[in-house]
Amino acid sequence: MKLLGKYVDKGMQGNVTLMPEESEDMWHAYNLIAEGDSVRSTTIRKVQNETATGSSTSNRVRTTLTIAVESIDFDTQACVLRLKGRNIEENQYVKMGAYHTLDLELNRKFELRKPEWDTIALERIEMACDPTQSADVAAVVMQEGLAHVCLITASMTLVRSKIEVSIPRKRKGSVQQHEKGLAKFYEQVMQSILRHVNFDVVKCVLIASPGFVRDQFYDYMFQQAVKMDYKLLLDNKSKFMLVHASSGFKHSLKEVLQDPAVLAKMSDTKAAGEVKALEQFYMMLQCEPAKAFYGKKHVLQAAESQAIETLLISDNLFRCQDVGLRKEYVNLVESVRDAGGEVKIFSSMHISGEQLAQLTGIAALLRFPMPELEDSDDDDDEDGAAGGADSD
C-alpha cells in the first residue's frame, strides 16, 4: 500500500489518500473503511444524453465521486472492494444523494475520511504501508492428486492455486499409467510454485503431505530443475522444508504451522508470532487455567486489574457496525498497552485467526492467576466461557 497523503488533526479528524498495490492491500482497505466513512475515488458512470430530436444515447464516463459508505462488500477471489453509498459532493454526472457503487481496485488511489480516527485504524495504515510486511512464507499442502499452493502473509492465508489431477491406480504388473499421472501432477505443482512464489520475498517454502508424497515431489522437482536448468529453484533449494500434514486440504495448514521445526524456520515472521501466542494460550488453559481466559466479560475484568500480559484479539471485532462497541475494544487494546502488556491483533483471514474466532475472538494470558474470574463464571454463566472450560 502506498500512502499518498495523510492529514489527521489533534481531534483525530481528517483524511488519508492511499493506493492499493497488491491483493493484501485490499484486505487492509476492507479493515480500514467502515460504514459512515466517506470515500472519494474515480469511477465509471453510465450517462444518458438526449439529443435535439428526442432520441437518447448513453455513454460511459469516468468521473470522481465522494460517497458516504452504507455497505461494504469484499470479493476475496477478485480482490475488489465494493462500497455502496450516496453521493455527497456536487458532480456534473451524478445528483447529490444518488446511490452509487464504488469499486476500489489495485493501483487506483482513493481518499478516506473518517468522523474520528482511532489508534487501531492508524496502526493498520502503518502496517499496510510497511514494505517488509509481505508474504514471507509459502506452503504447498498436498496428497496424491490434490495440492493447494498458499502464500502466508502477516494477516491472511491466500490460496494461490488449487491443483487436482486424476491419478490412475496401480494395476497388477503395470504401474506405468500411475507413474505417468503422478509425473503430470508433480509437474503442475512445480509450475504453480514457479508462477506464484516470489523468492525475493519468501524466506521459507513448506511442502506438507501425508506419507511420502512430499519427498517424492521434492525429488521430482529438483531432478527437473537440474534437467531444465530452473535456476530459480536451484538457487533457493535451502528455503524448502518438508513437513507432515494430514491431508492436501487447506485446513491442514493449521497443524503444519504449529510444528516446532516450522516455527523455528518462521521465527522472524509476524504470522509465527500469532501462532505461537495461540499455542501458549492453549497450553496455559490446560496447565494453569486461572491465568488464561477468553470471552469479552472475563478479559475486560482482567484488564481492569491490569493483569493482562498478552491480549489476543481478532480484527473482526473492530469491523463491528456498533461504534460504541468498537470504541470499547480500542480502549481495551490501549489500556493493555498502557499497563505494559502485549497486544496481538489476529487476522480473521489467517488460519490462527479462524481458531481464535472459535474462542469468541478475544482471549488473554495473565501475569498472575485470577481464580475469582473462574468463580464468577460459575455464578453468572455468560456467553464467553472462561479459562478451565473446554468448550466455547
Question: According to CATH, where is 2.30.30.870 located in the chain?
Answer: 2-48+58-129
CATH T-level fold of 2-48+58-129: SH3 type barrels. (2.30.30)
- Residue 314, beta-bridge partner list: 346
Model confidence pLDDT, tens digit, residues 223-265: 999 999 999 999 899 889 999 999 999 889 888 888 887 876 7
Provide the CATH number for the domain formed by 270-366 in this structure: 3.30.1330.30
Which residue ranges does the chain devote to CATH 3.30.420.60?
A: 137-266
Cα 182 from chain centre: 33
Whole-number Å distance between alpha carbons of 83 and 313? 26
Alpha-carbon dihedral angle through residues 362, 267, 160, 107, given to the nearest 10 degrees: 80
The mean pLDDT of the chain is 87
The pLDDT value recorded for residue 131 is 54
pLDDT confidence band for 381 (50 / 70 / 90): very low
β-strands 80-87, 99-104: how paired?
A: antiparallel
Rounded (to 5) percent helix, strand, coil in the chain: 40, 30, 30
Phi, psi of 238 (to 5 degrees): -65, -15
Residue 76 has pLDDT above 80, yes or no: no
DSSP run (H or E) holding 23: helix 23-32
> 365: number of CA atoms within 13 Å, CB side?
19
Q: What pLDDT is stored for residue 44 in this prediction?
A: 86
249 or 266: whose pLDDT is higher? 249
Q: What is the CATH number of domain 137-266?
A: 3.30.420.60
Q: What is the pLDDT of residue 377?
A: 62
**Which whole number is the average pLDDT over 305-310?**
95
Residue 172 has pLDDT above 90, yes or no: no
Q: Across the strands, what pairs with 164?
A: 146
Give the model's pLDDT for residue 320: 82
- Domain limits, CATH 3.30.1330.30, in the chain: 270-366
81 pLDDT more than 60: yes
- Check: pTM over 0.85? Answer yes or no: no
Residue 389's pLDDT is 44
Average pLDDT over residues 113-140: 82
- Residue 134 reports pLDDT greater than 80: no
